[in-house]
Structure 1
Amino acid sequence: MISSVRLKPLNWHPHIAPVELSEATPEQLEAMKVTPSAKKVSEYVRTLVHDPESYVARTVLFNAIMYVDGGLARPDRELGALGASIVNGCIFCAVTHARRHAELTKNDDVVTALYLDKPEELGPRDAAIYRFARRLSVTPSEAAPEDIASLRSVGMDDVEIIDLIHAISIFGWANRLMHVLGHADSGK
């Protein structure tokens, strides 16, 4: 099994010099208070905050999609983000969301199946979410009524489906930001 302990976080290295906290403008410092985790101002945040207005708009939207109470359960949002990140080739985001999913569910089975390329081992709900995340990430315009029916068949309601679409879609954007602005490695 791949455990969240063995799925070590990756390091992300920006191609554009991040804003140094000691040199940040008052607007940049204020913007950095709106971090996704509200815990850490990463190099990624400090890179995005070169444009504090767009950083705040992006982060408020990201937080509303990924961390809001109600609607789709957090592990399902993380699974959608993981599926999108795998398709988009963003290893940093894939590892991050795999770890979060395993932490939230206190179970590594889903992550293990995906990392071993055995999606057939997923339960019906996880399989439907993962299939939809992949389909929506590969060619969004090919998502069809059958895809929504598949999600409904595993008990998802309209609010949960919309939340899932948001989670998958924002990673179409987030993954591309990560790729263009920097690269990830294991730090070894």
Structure 2
Amino acid sequence: MSEQTVRSAESAAGPRDGEPGGEVRSVDSGRRPGGFTQEQLDWVPWVEPIRLADADARQAPLLEGDRGVGPYFRVLARNPEVLAHRSGNDREIFYGRAGLGRAERELAATVTSRHNGCEYCASVHSRFTTALSKRGADVQRLLDEGNGVRIDERWDAIVDFVDALAANPPRAGHAHIERLRELGLTDTEIHDLVLSAASFSWANRLMLTLGEPEAPQAE
């Protein structure tokens, strides 16, 4: 999958539901995910999303395109100032040109989501990690075994550092940073890992407190 394809997929990767408005409901036990997966999941809100037709002048620009389809961004649009900052952070952290490659930024998002137990975010960003790194089997091992998995020296160091950052309270220390430096990561690249982990520590908490994941209906 090319970078352009991944970017297109990401724009449509927001949680989906067929009709705007009226999505608040309970997820049936038979539709709950059976664990961490790279398969696409849906997301059901516990807070009523705004309807696109009701979006005001501050909200409407934040919901243009595919972002207005699913309920997640329409829930966040109830506080448009926060959503605007969140969207800006996301662009800068995951699409920045300098520093760490996109695949390892997505790996950091996956590790953080795995630590925090956010099945929805882990499914989205594990797919991006696989698409960009071409290492789907390694990514699946991370999902299956957790952040204690051992893959290779570089990814192990990244996983351990990000998992330590995601802990509450954080337990990342100088030894983690020195290990990454010894493996050739620059301070800019390490900073990108910190930003990715911080961004998804926030995103996971939004997902986990505003709704729940749902496995798509079998066709």
Q: Letter of the 2:201 partner, please give it.
A: G
Which structure is higher in helix share?
1
Distance 1:106 1:23, change over 3 A: same
Q: Does 1:168 align with 2:197?
A: yes
List gaps (5 residues or longer) in structure 2. 1-36
In structure 1, the partner of 2:106 is 78
C-alpha distance in 2, partners of 1:105/1:124? 16
Contact 2:99 2:188 in 1 (8 A): yes
Residue 55 of structure 2 is matched in structure 1 by: 24
Instruction: Give the structure 1 partner of residue 187 of structure 2.
Output: 158
| Percent of aligned pairs sharing the same letter | 33
Between the two proteins, the alignment pairs up a number of residues equal to 179
The residue type equivalent to 1:25 in the other structure is D
Task: Please say if residues 31 and 53 of structure 1, whose CA atoms lie closer than 8 Å, have aligned partners that are also in contact.
Answer: no
Distance 2:163 2:151 in 1: 14
Q: Report the CA distance between 1:186 and its aligned residue.
A: 0.7
Measure how far apart 1:32 and its partner are: 2.3
For 1:121 and 1:145, locate their aligned partners in 2 and report how far apart those are by CA, in whole Å.
21
| Distance in 1 (alpha carbons) for counterparts of 2:48 and 2:190 | 38
C-alpha separation in 2, matches of 1:108 and 1:140: 31
Higher relative contact order (CA closer than 8 Å, sequence separation 6+)? 1
Q: Does 1:145 align with 2:184?
A: no
Q: Please, which moves more after superposition, 84-93 or 13-22?
A: 13-22
| Cα RMSD for the two superposed structures | 1.7
Distance 1:24 1:115 in 2: 37
Contact 2:142 2:149 in 1 (8 A): no
Q: Does residue 184 in structure 1 map to residue 209 in structure 2?
A: no
Residues 93-112 of structure 1: matches in 2 within 5 Å?
93-112=121-140
Say whether the 8 Å CA contact 2:114–2:122 is kept in structure 1: yes
* SS across alignment from 1:13: strand
Q: Aligned partners of 2:149 and 2:84: how far apart in 1?
A: 39
Q: Runs of 5+ in structure 1 lacking a partner?
A: 1-5
Structure 1 residue 39 displacement after superposition: 4.5
Q: Deviations over 1:56-100 (max 9, x none)?
A: 011101211112212111110011111110010000001111100
Between the aligned partners of 1:123 and 1:149, the Cα distance in structure 2 is 17
Q: Distance in 1 between matches of 2:38 and 2:204?
A: 19
1:60 to 88, 92, 95: 88
Q: Which amino acid aligns with 1:24?
A: A
TM-score for both structures, normalised by structure 2: 0.76
Match of 2:46 in 1: 15
**1:141-176 CA deviation, whole Å, 9 max, x = no partner?**
421100101111221000000010000111111100
Q: Kindly state the Cα deviation for residue 140 of structure 1 after the two structures are TM-superposed.
A: 4.7
Separation in 2, partners of 1:39, 1:105:
25
